[in-house]
Amino acid sequence: MSPVLEVDGLEVAFGDVPVVRGLSYELRAGEVLGIVGESGAGKSVAAAAVLGLLPPEAKVSGSVRLHGRELIGAPERELARIRGRTVSMVFQDPQSALTPVYRVGDQIAEAVRAHQRVTKEQAAVKAVDLLDLVGIPDPARRALAFPHEFSGGMRQRALIAMAIANDPDVIICDEPTTALDVTVQAQVLEVLRKAQCRTGAAIVLITHDLGVVAGFADRVLVMYAGRPVETGDVDDVYYRTRMPYTSGLLGSVPRVDGGGRRPLVPIEGGPPEPGRPAPGCPFAPRCPMREEACDDREPPLFEVGAGHRAACIRWADVRRADGGEQARAPREPVTRGPRTVLEVQGLVKRYPLMRGAMFRRRAGTVHAVAGISFDIREGETLGLVGESGSGKTTALTQILELAEPEEGRIVVLGCDTARLTAGQRAAVRRDMQVVFQDPAASLDPRMTVYDILAEPLRAHRAGAPGRRVAELLALVGLDTAHAARYPRELSGGQCQRVAIARALALEPRLLVLDEPVSALDMSIRAGVLNLLGALKDRLGLSYLFVAHDLAVVRYLADRVAVMQLGRIAEIGRAEAVYATPAHPYTQALLSAIPLPDPVRERSRERILLDGEPPSPADPPSGCRFRTRCPTFRGVLTAEERSLCVDAEPEVRPLGEDQAAACHYAEKLAVV
Amino acid sequence: MTLSEEEVAGDLEPAEPAPPSRGRVLAGRFLASRQGRAGVGVLALMFVLAFAGPLFAPWSHTDKDFAAFLEPPSGRHWFGTLQTGADVYALTLRGLQRSLIVGLLAALVSTALAALAGAFAGYFGGWTDRVLTWITDLLLALPAFLILAIMSPLFGSGQWPLFVLMLALFLWMVTAKITRGMTISLRQREFVRAARYLGVPPVKIIFSHVLPNLSSLLIVDATVNVSAAILAETSLSYFGFGIQPPDVSLGTLIADGSRTAIYAPWTFWFAAGLLVVTVLAVNVAGDALRDAFDPGAKGGR
């Protein structure tokens, strides 16, 4: 069978800066190719180049053949005929890929009419069919909705519907699920799979998530610094890795499975900047296996197995970078520490929902946080997990503001926030520090690193900062020379290290971490996570770790609290919650996370959630999860269901340090 | 678990770094740029000329040489004379003195007012915001020129600080409004929140985070205000308000000289030339200062 799409020696450069170099792949009908790489690896540019979508200043050379026809240099009219009909694209941001002023159904019908000679009515009917196919409930009514009335997951489904409207032979998906929550990601991937079955199209799946590729793709192409560095069957690349970069990536990803915390193996340094060609292998400066020959010239792709190629001169010696079998000792403090550093009891936060521009009136109430309770003992890490809209950020802000809560009580380091004196407030501010998600945004761009680190010391009059700044820099693994730099002169990982150093400047007791690694590239993440783990052990810190990524939380947390729609669904020791989650939501969440392990990923049974998360402005009666709950739908009898509808379940204990807010909680291993 | 080298590096003896705090880095970056050095150099030269220049001249700005009416430049009168016999060199330097002080001071005062009012209103919100916005709107609505004209008898000899203050008072409102808007958006940024959660007092946050991040706007505003203040003073003086005779400013000189500029160019061009050079130097220095504040500017390192 001849390939549908052949890319051969594709090169893209902006000005003198090469962005994609020597990219070649073939795609057969019905095949899924995963292209993996970090930001700046050139994967999106390569995809846009295939469709001729790059701005005119981009210099594209090489060859892209679709069914044997050359696309590079083809006239615009011919490309326009191909786009959307033979090759279609699904973008990362479904928000901006739909026109806000047209109805969703009309936009899909437009895609149909662009390439097929059908009447408006026929196209509208086809649009409804397509929406039905991608699993949008009540498609005839939904087709009349505007994009802003759709949730993120529904928009992405609508985009997939548009992409398959003309039965394309190739669908290019550029990070199709990156902006979505894990449970929605699982749904969307399922839709993509279904769409592929229906159309028989080949898919190019561009992503940075090794787990998504493992379960979805047949073949993988790993890109680094604009070049393909390893390509082959999924199993070959994941289990018989022949390129140190790939093995580094696989070793640096935290996973939800795999018996406790395996230490992560970070890749040193950061990706090279484009446009600074060094003669040797671009990965050599970060490579643990580097030898002198690596700097001589860039290694070509060696044939290392059947259909498996890797760009490394030492490919025969490459092994999976596992951090050894001796995993970090399982946490010994099974009994929790005696002293409580943070206690939250029955915390409630509501926001008024206002309508109208001239006469503002209250149209409703958003129950962002609806009564949550948890505590953190000294030396403990609590992971607060939840999808977007679960209220975790609101809860966090309430704690950080040290304001009196609407209802309930927050006790930070022994001080009730409702009765804080000015002196206590200053003391609490000193002992509770925060690290934000986006390291570049949380550092003042106009300050040098020295001033940034000296700021907390000056604010609390903690003596001359000079010496302490040097200590702090060393503590987070930075050089004293970094003190004179501005944040923008540092990489993302270095910025986050500075932010951590600032948080540690006053020797706090409690550190609040708000998604501290989710803005970082995956090869950088491991280093920051390891640093956080090491600092905690050395300085005896307590962490409140807020994240949406359960794998990251598992790596760091002693205890986990899973939030759903403003309530805690499940809370308990990390080992227990991950091994045998009891709440159906936790089970679904854990089973939705893709594992970077192709064999296990293919054989896994997924618990897919139905429908969309309800709005926090209008939560369902009784149990807040029941509208999406697989147990409620599939297992319970009508009699049992009435309890879920009528009574909101309280968090009740289920054995040793594990508790779930479900009337019918049942422990179940899902990972 | 095993830690990599860099993670346990905290045990090593750290070397004492020279504190590269913002003040030093800024000064270094400013003086490293050619623009900055040139701007400051020319400005300094202007001050030296304005204040030391008259010491070497045989005539003072009140003297009249009745032997030379409207004479071109010569050995006796370096810049020539006016119709009244007054020495243009002495007059121009005296005018430069006044204009430099009025222009620079009024610009500084008005920009400082704008920065403070805008930043405090934007950062604190609530009543602070309402009161400050009300004052700003009130001053915007008042006819500045009329009030200055009415107050002009107060600006007699030796009262120029009051004049500077009044001039500044009518220059800051628009910038204050822009500053307020930008502060409101800055307040939401994570580094400001981070500073708040660190326990940095609000006033300190305004001075160390908010204002430096608005510095590009404020510096451009200050440089524009220097010219605006000099020109406002000029037009006021032209109508006989502002700087009162026998005192002179570049404005009064240019106004008087413009009538004779065609057939006696020296009465006009020396004053006008010095004004242009001054404003240019301020702009160049302002640009360099803005680049020094902005870590992303080219040639900063």
What DSSP line would sit under A185-232, residue for residue? HHHHHHHHHHHHHHH--EEEEEES-HHHHHHH-SEEEEEETTEEEEEE
Please give, one letter per residue, the 3-state secondary structure of A37-67.
CCCCCCHHHHHHHHCCCCCCCEEEEEEEEEC
Report ipTM (2 d.p.).
Answer: 0.74
Query: Is the pLDDT assigned to residue A326 strictly greater than 80?
Result: no
Q: How far is A527 from chain B (nearest CA, A)?
A: 9
pLDDT for the residue numbered B206: 93
Contacts of A463 in chain B (CB under 8 A): none
Determine, for residues B194 and A502 on separate chains, whether the beta-carbon distance falls below 8 Å. yes
- What dihedral angle (degrees, nearest 10) is formed by the CA atoms of B28, B30, B33, B37? -110
Check CB contact of A316 with chain B, cutoff 8 Å: no
Strands A559-564 and A567-573: antiparallel
C-alpha–C-alpha distance, residues A502 and A494, integer Å: 12
Q: A-B interface: how many C-beta pairs under 8 angstroms?
A: 133
Amino acid at B211: L
CB contact under 8 A, A450 and B19: yes
Which distant-in-sequence residues (6+ apart) come within 8 Å of A587 by Cβ? A581, A607, A668, A670
| B290: nearest CA partner in chain A | A446
Residue A357 tokens read as: 């521009």
CA distance linking residue A423 with residue A425, whole number of Å: 5
Residue B198 within any structural domain of the chain: yes
Q: Facing residues of A370 across strands?
A: A348
In 3D, which of A425, A90, A560 has the Cα closest to residue B202?
A425
| Length of chain A (residues) | 671
pLDDT in tens, A532-565: 888 888 888 899 999 888 888 888 888 999 998 8
Residue B35, CA atoms < 13 Å, CB-side half-sphere: 17
Q: Which chain A residues are closer than 8 Å to B10 by Cβ?
A: 471, 474-475, 538
Q: How far is A432 from chain B (nearest CA, A)?
A: 8
B212/A446 CB distance under 8 A: yes
If you measure CA to CA, which chain A residue comes closest to B215?
A446
Confidence bin at A570 (pLDDT 50/70/90): very high
Q: Order of strands across the sheet with A361-377?
A: A361-377, A340-355, A407-412, A415-416
Within a 10 A sphere around the Cβ of A603, how many other Cβ atoms? Answer: 9
* CA–CA dist A83, A44 (Å, integer): 16
For A130-152, the DSSP string reads HHHHTT-SSHHHHTTS-GGGS-H
Chain B positions in Cβ-Cβ contact with residue A470 (cut-off 8 Å): 14-17
Q: Tell me the torsion sign for CA atoms B160, B163, B169, B170.
A: negative
pLDDT in tens, A431-484: 999 998 888 888 988 888 888 998 888 888 777 777 888 888 888 888 888 888
SS3 category, B178: helix
If one counts the domains in chain B, the total is 1
Burial class (CB in 10 A: 0-12, 13-18, 19+), B226: buried
What DSSP line would sit under A481-520, residue for residue?
Answer: GGGG--GGGS-HHHHHHHHHHHHHTT--SEEEEESTTTTS
Quote the pLDDT of residue A671: 66
Instruction: Determine contact, residues A298/A229, Cβ cutoff 8 Å.
Output: no
Q: What are the strands, taking DSSP E only, across A196-339?
A: 202-207, 219-224, 227-233, 302-305, 308-310
Which CATH number is A340-538 given? 3.40.50.300
Cβ-defined contact of B7 to A473 (cutoff 8 Å) = no
* Residue B191 and residue A444 in contact, taking contact as beta carbons nearer than 8 Å: yes
- The beta-carbon neighbor of B17 closest among A443, A460, A483 is A483
Tokens of A135: 């699993």
Residues 94-133 on B with a CB inside 8 Å of A are: none
Residue A127, C-beta contacts closer than 8 angstroms, at least 6 positions apart: A105, A106, A108, A109, A112, A143, A161, A165
How much of chain A exceeds pLDDT 90, in percent? 10
CA distance A47 to A27: 13
Coil/strand/helix, residue A375: strand
Q: Taking 70 as the threshold, does the pLDDT of residue A485 lie above it? A: yes
Question: Least CB-CB distance to B17: which of A445, A469, A534?
Answer: A469
pLDDT at A249: 85
Residue A14 carries which DSSP code?
Answer: E
- Which residues does chain A have within 8 Å of residue B4's beta carbon, measured at their own beta carbons? 266, 268, 530
- Set of chain B residues whose Cβ sits within 8 Å of the Cβ of A484: 17, 20, 25
Please give the residue of chain A at the shortest CA–CA distance from B193: A442
Token code pair at residue A487: 């944040």
Are the C-beta atoms of A436 and B176 separated by less than 8 Å? no
A270-302 b/e with 16+ CB inside 10 Å = b? bbbebeeeeebbbbbebbebbeeebeeebbebb
* B198 lies within 8 A of chain A by CB: yes
Q: Report the percent of chain A where pLDDT is more than 70.
A: 95
Instruction: Confirm or reject contact between B17 and chain A (CB < 8 A).
Output: yes
Give A486's contacts in chain B (Cβ within 8 Å).
295
Lowest mean pLDDT among A50-64, A70-84, A497-511, B83-97: B83-97
Residues 370-409 of A with CB under 8 A from B: 400
State both tokens at A266: 């970070």
Closest listed residue to residue B129, CA positions, set B121, B138, B118? B121
Taking 90 as the threshold, does the pLDDT of residue B177 lie above it? yes
Residue B299 lies in a domain: no
Q: What is the pLDDT of residues A236-270, one digit of tens each?
A: 888 888 888 888 888 888 887 765 566 777 787 77
B243, part of any domain: yes
Element (DSSP H or E) covering residue A408: strand A407-412
Domain extent for B179: 49-293
Question: How many Å lie between the alpha carbon of B217 and the closest alpha carbon of chain A?
Answer: 14
Q: Inter-chain contact A446–B198, Cβ cutoff 8 Å?
A: no
Tell me the pLDDT tens digit for each residue of B229-268: 877 887 777 777 777 767 787 877 887 777 777 787 887 8
Same fold, A5-217 and A340-538: yes
**Do residue A488 and residue B295 have CB atoms under 8 angstroms apart?**
yes
Contact A448 B3 (CB under 8 A): no
For chain B, the average pLDDT equals 80
Residue A85 to residue A169: CA distance in whole angstroms: 8
Q: With 50 as the cut, is the pLDDT of residue A642 above it? A: yes
The single-letter DSSP state of residue A430 is H
Distance between CA atoms of A566 and A546, rounded to whole angstroms?
14
Residue B137 clears pLDDT 70, i.e. is over it? yes
Q: Which residues of B touch A400 (CB under 8 A)?
A: 197
Which of B49-63, B158-172, B272-286 is predicted least confidently?
A: B49-63
Q: First and final CA of chain A: distance in angstroms?
A: 38
B32 touching chain A per CB within 8 A? no
Of A263, A451, A487, the CB nearest to B21: A451
Q: Testing the interface with A: which of B2, B5, B6 to mutate, by most A Cβ within 10 A?
A: B6
> CB distance B20–A450 less than 8 Å?
yes
Highest-confidence segment of A148-152, A567-571, B265-269:
A567-571
Bridge pairing between strands A381-386 and A559-564: parallel
Range 515-534 of A in CB contact (< 8 A) with B: 530-531, 533-534
Cis before B246? omega within 30: yes
CATH number at B98 reads 1.10.3720.10
* Predicted confidence band of residue B205 (pLDDT cuts 50, 70, 90): very high
Contact B191 A456 (CB under 8 A): no
Chain A environment of B6 (Cβ under 8 Å): 477
- Coil, strand or helix: which one is A69? strand
CB of B188 within 8 Å of any CB in chain A?
Answer: no
Q: Minimal CA–CA distance to A345: which of A619, A649, A568, A573?
A: A568
| Distance, CA of A434 to CA of A95 (rounded, Å) | 31
Structure tokens at A65: 């053949």
Q: Please name the helix (run of DSSP H) or strand (run of DSSP E) that holds residue B176, with its range, or none.
A: helix B173-187
Buried b (16+ CB within 10 A) or exposed e, B184-207: eebbebbbbbbbbbbbbeeeebbe
Closest by CA to A498, choosing from A441, A427, A460, is A441
Residues in chain A within 8 Å Cβ distance of B208 = 444, 447, 455
Contacts of B158 (CB under 8 A, 6+ apart): none
Residue B255 falls within a domain, yes or no?
A: yes
What mean pLDDT is predicted for residues A503-526? 86
Q: Do A444 and B197 touch (CB under 8 A)?
A: no
CATH placement of domain A5-217: 3.40.50.300
* Distance separating alpha carbons of residues A134 and A108, to the nearest angstrom: 12
**DSSP H helix total and E strand total for chain A:** 24, 24
Nearest to B190 among A441, A446, A470 (CB): A441
Set of chain B residues whose Cβ sits within 8 Å of the Cβ of A441 = 189-191
Tell me, what's the pLDDT at B181? 93
Mutation test of the interface with chain B: which of A397, A442, A444, A497, choosing the one with the most B Cβ atoms within 10 A? Answer: A444
Chain A, window 225-254: residues with a beta carbon less than 8 angstroms from a chain B beta carbon: none
Q: Is B258 on the interface with A (CB under 8 A)?
A: no
Position of tokens 């430069």?
A: B96
Q: What are phi and psi of B63, to 5 degrees?
A: -70, 150
Q: Does residue B185 sit at the A interface (CB-CB below 8 Å)?
A: no
Question: Which tokens in the block code for residue B163?
Answer: 């004049």
Please, what sign has the CA dihedral across residues A421, A427, A430, A433? negative
B19 pLDDT more than 60: no
Please report, for chain A, the start and end positions of each structural domain, with discontinuous segments joined by +: 5-217, 227-317, 340-538, 565-671
Query: Looking at beta carbons, which residues of chain A come within 8 Å of B8?
Result: 534
Confidence of residue B20 (pLDDT cuts 50, 70, 90): low
The pLDDT assigned to B34 comes to 86
The whole-angstrom distance between B201's CA and the closest CA on chain A is: 7
pLDDT of B8 > 60? The answer is no
State both tokens at B74. 């010569």
Cα–Cα distance, A510 to B84 (Å, whole number):
80
Q: How far is Cα A20 from Cα A576, in angstroms, rounded to an integer?
A: 46
The two three-digit tokens of residue A495, written as one number:
């910025």
B23 and A CB contact within 8 Å: no
